[in-house]
Structure 1
Amino acid sequence: MAKGVEVVEQHGEFHAKDYRDPPPAPLVDAEELVKWSFYRAIIAEFVATLLFLYITVLTVIGYNSQIDRAHNGDDCSGVGVLGIAWAFGGMIFVLVYCTAGISGGHINPAVTFGLFLARKVSLLRAILYMVAQCLGAVCGCGLVKAFQRAYYERYGGGANTLKDGYSKGTGLGAEIIGTFVLVYTVLSATDPKRRARDSHVPVLAPLPIGFAVFVVHLATIPVTGTGINPARSFGAAMIYGKEKAWDDQWMFWVGPLLGAAIATFFHQHILRAAGIKALGSFMSSSIL
């Protein structure tokens, strides 16, 4: 139960009394630099993103190779789009579950950016998380290429590209909306006020987050291959190295970061009314 929250039952209903939001993270927290927990969290983000890209990119390449064999007379068409979506969503569920208590289980620069805007992490932590995530993605894709070099080159290295028949505006919109769904789910599932209010209903936060990744992939794989994670798109493009992988790379950064910003604004300032509460507190203190 969150500190400073008392939950009582009245007439069969639960109410949160005297709830107070935790203080916002400082913009720059130099004290983090002397704490082992800070570096442990960065390492956790690096390893988690490495494992995420290793498993998911292997799944994408395996699916493409199976589709190729199917076109040559093999009836087996592989795991399909559903299997790819399960790979991405399932790995996020597993890795968030494993790392949530160490680093928060971001595994995505867009999620880190959203949580920074929500003042859940400091600027220093956000920057180093993003660097660790991108490096982890590059290393994860590097392992895939090392183990599956022939298939990696032949089937596009799992890189995100805008699919034929879709405009850049459509692709950008898909990335914005997909990331909005993900970051909104993260903020809702980890909201301390919700945990206090609904403490009688156990919620395993990694589960809805993993499902959000799963359903977004089902919707947007046919459009962009589904980015919603700049590190995932960057790592695959970096190791694959072909021009096509870089053509629309901007889309897989602008879309997720913009979607994360919109989701954070919606959750914090519309649903949680953080701006209105801050203004009310300021006016009250001014009057006093």
Structure 2
Amino acid sequence: MTKDLSEHGSFPAKDYHDPPPAPLFDAVELGQWSFYRALIAEFLATLLFLYILVMTVIGYNSETDPTHGGNLCGGVGILGIAWAVGGMIFVLVYCTAGISGGHINPAVTFGLFLARKVSLVRAVFYMVAQCLGAICGVGLAKAFQNGRYSLYGGGANVLNDEYSKGVGLAAEIIGTFVLVYTVFSATDPKRNARDSHVPVLAPLPIGFAVFVVHLATIPITGTGINPARSLGAAVIYNKEKAWDDQWIFWVGPFVGAAIAAFYHQFILRAAAVKAFGSLRSQSQA
């Protein structure tokens, strides 16, 4: 009976609805309060993220510095830093998802823009707000830890001398791919419809993705996967070493985000195949 009903169209062909593609340029957004509220949310979320990240890194380095009475076996360690960063992303995405989408990362915004989830206007303004928030967040951490800030590197991303630039770039590309792919999967309307019986909280897998990527890449690059995070730390620390390989922390995340957007939209969701099929059906009609 179920088969007959479905064949005669009693059941919808799809049990989910994809939102329409965002316009490339939507000037109407500039006149809406919700747009500026989203910008404020992105700014503040990135500020808080960088503040917690830098304070955690400086605290760990000061606790393990033997020249200042520290213990090499003390501190939270890389595992603790990864938990702090991943946990903070979980909290911030949970808090801001309903306001701005909870991007908190220009690479995430770029990936969603390529997938036509946000307009060019929103993407550009989000990235500016995120970078400004990151700079302010690191500045706040420096104000609280002024004596230790410069001593312990200011949380700036630098390529470990033991690794080549190619390895560092690849680590940033792969790490960002994992993050942005997780964002697409966790927010996929098809998944939400099919798994509606399972209480899936989207910020949770996103936070875990950030956690595991930090475990893998902290020894290589200090883990960027977020151009705003790398820029904010470099601007406030402002030492030559922090700027030497800054390009890695922009090129890597944007390339990783682009690959994730292509993979999810055109391979997993078969957007190109669907578009081609639609054109064929229209031409045959």
TM-score range, shorter chain: over 0.9
Between 277-286 and 247-256, report the one with greater CA deviation. Answer: 277-286
Where does the alignment leave 5 or more consecutive residues of structure 2 unmatched? Answer: 1-11
Q: Which of 164, 173, 177 is equivalent to 1:176?
A: 173
Out of 77, 83, 86, the position equivalent to 1:89 is: 86
1:160 partner SS: coil
Contact 1:69–1:77 (8 Å) recurs in 2: no
For residues 189-230 of structure 1, the C-alpha deviation after alignment (integer angstroms, 9 at most, x for no partner) is: 000111011111121000000000000000000000000000
1:168-203 deviation line (CA, Å, top 9, x unaligned):
000000000000000000000000111011111121
Equivalent residue, structure 2, for 1:239: 236
Please state if 1:253 is matched with 2:250: yes
After TM superposition, the runs of 4+ consecutive aligned structure 1 residues lying more than 6 A away are: none
RMSD: 1.5
Counterpart of 2:157 in structure 1: which amino acid? N
Report the CA distance between 1:164 and its aligned residue.
Answer: 1.8
Q: Any residues of structure 2 matched to 1:90-129 within 5 Å, and which?
A: 90-129=87-126
Q: Give yes or no for contact 1:163–1:223 (8 Å, CA) kept in 2.
A: yes
2:65 counterpart SS class: helix
Query: Displacement, 1:16?
Result: 7.6
After superposition, give the CA deviation of every residue in 1:109-140 in whole Å (9 maximum; x if it has no partner).
00000000111000000000000000000000
- The 2-side partners of 1:76 and 1:106 are apart by 35
Contact 2:65 2:72 in 1 (8 A): no
Question: Which of the residues 16, 22, 35 maps onto 2:32?
Answer: 35
| Equivalent of residue 200 in structure 1, options 197, 200, 208 | 197
Give, in whole Å, the separation in 1 of the partners of 2:191 and 2:201: 13
**Alignment of structure 1 residues 222-237 onto 2, 5 Å:** 222-237=219-234
Percent identical across equivalent pairs?
80
Who is 2:273 aligned against?
276
* Length-normalised TM-score, structure 1: 0.92
What is aligned with 1:68?
Answer: 65
Contact 1:16 1:197 in 2 (8 A): no
Could you say if the C-alpha distance between residues 93 and 16 of structure 1 is closer, same or farther in structure 2, counting changes exceeding 3 Å? farther
Report Cα offsets for 1:25-58 as digits up to 9, x if no partner.
0101111111110000000000000000001110
C-alpha separation in 2, matches of 1:256 and 1:91: 20
- Give the partner amino acid of 1:229: N
Q: Which residues of structure 1 form unaligned runs of 5+?
A: 1-14
Determine the structure 2 residue equivalent to 1:11: none
Alpha-carbon deviations, 1:57-89, whole Å to 9, x = none? 100111111121388563652000001001110
Answer yes or no: is 1:188 the counterpart of 2:181: no
Aligned partners of 2:219, 2:166: CA distance in 1, in Å? 15
Q: Is 1:53 matched with 2:54?
A: no
Q: Does the 8 Å CA contact 1:134/1:231 hold for their aligned counterparts?
A: yes
Query: 2-side partners of 1:61 and 1:73: how far apart?
Result: 13
* Distance in 2 between residues matched to 1:71 and 1:44, nearest whole Å: 39
Alpha-carbon distance between aligned partners in 1 of 2:137 and 2:150, rounded to the nearest angstrom: 16
Aligned partners of 2:123 and 2:197: how far apart in 1?
Answer: 32
Aligned residues: 274
Contact 2:62 2:152 in 1 (8 A): yes
The answer as to whether partners of 1:85 and 1:214 remain within 8 angstroms in 2 is yes
Output the CA distance in 2 between the equivalents of 1:88 and 1:142.
18
Paired residue secondary structure (1:78): coil
Q: Is the Cα–Cα contact under 8 Å of residues 137 and 234 in structure 1 kept in the other structure?
A: yes
**Paired residue for 1:133?**
130
In structure 2, distance between residues paired with 1:139 and 1:193: 38
Instruction: Choose 276-285 or 212-221, whichever is displaced more.
Output: 276-285
